[in-house]
Amino acid sequence: MPDKLVHKNFNIEELKVEVKKDDNEKESTYITGYANTKGKEDAYGDIPTNYKGRPVYDVSRMKTNPVMLIDHENSITRIMGNFVKLKEDDKGLFFKVKLKNIEDSFLPEVKEAISNFKSGVGRALSIGGRWLYENEGKPKQLTKAIIHEISGVGVGADGFALSDAEKIKSLSKTTKDENLEEVEGLKSKYGASKTEEVLKSIEKQKEEIKNNE
């Protein structure tokens, strides 16, 4: 539904980290990659699709304030960078972000977040937006994503294999206790930490949907 703001986590595809120096030898770090890709099913069961030839991603709102937050904390003290490029191409949603210089940051958690992405350890983004499914004949097709903000996060839910997408979707409709066998299976395959992180993300999405109903 267009009136529901939901966050979805994704691993960055084709991630590249580039360090540039200006004339004064001051370093700036840029990260490029794809925040979302089209034409294949993700762990949420969505297939981003150019429906009726239209773009999938609406980034007009995002471009008015293109900051990269940490874990969706909407605070001036939790900005870790700025998106200098955000565009849709044939593959998906391409981005280029300039990270804030660590020496210009004072909070330890901000320094840590910037350092993790600068080193390539941080590899996931979470997109906050409204997700539309306008093709009634193919309900899995994500036909429009109205993007409000993008954050750096620790784990992308689409790090799970596509074969496990239905398990993730079933967990989103019930509770963890009702799916203990499924949860344990995911833990053994992906590790307890990663599985718990994704489950927390699912619970957060369910709460957001509930609050917007």
* CB-count exposure of residue 172 (10 Å: 0-12, 13-18, 19+): middle
- pTM for the full model? 0.73
Strands 67-70 and 6-11: unpaired
How far is residue 178's CA from residue 174's CA, in Å, rounded to a whole number?
7
Among 56, 13, 35, which residue's Cα sits nearest to residue 151?
Answer: 35
How far is residue 131's CA from residue 143's CA, in Å, rounded to a whole number?
8
- Over range 178-193, report the average pLDDT: 64
Range with the poorest average pLDDT among 2-16, 18-32, 130-144: 2-16
Among 94, 100, 104, which residue's Cα sits nearest to residue 117?
Answer: 100
Which carries the bigger pLDDT value, residue 30 or residue 8? 30
Q: Judge whether residue 14 has pLDDT over 80.
A: yes
How far is residue 195's CA from residue 55's CA, in Å, rounded to a whole number?
32
How far is residue 193's CA from residue 182's CA, in Å, rounded to a whole number?
15
Res 193: pLDDT: 67
Res 185: pLDDT: 66
Confidence of residue 84 (pLDDT cuts 50, 70, 90): very high
Confidence of residue 97 (pLDDT cuts 50, 70, 90): very high
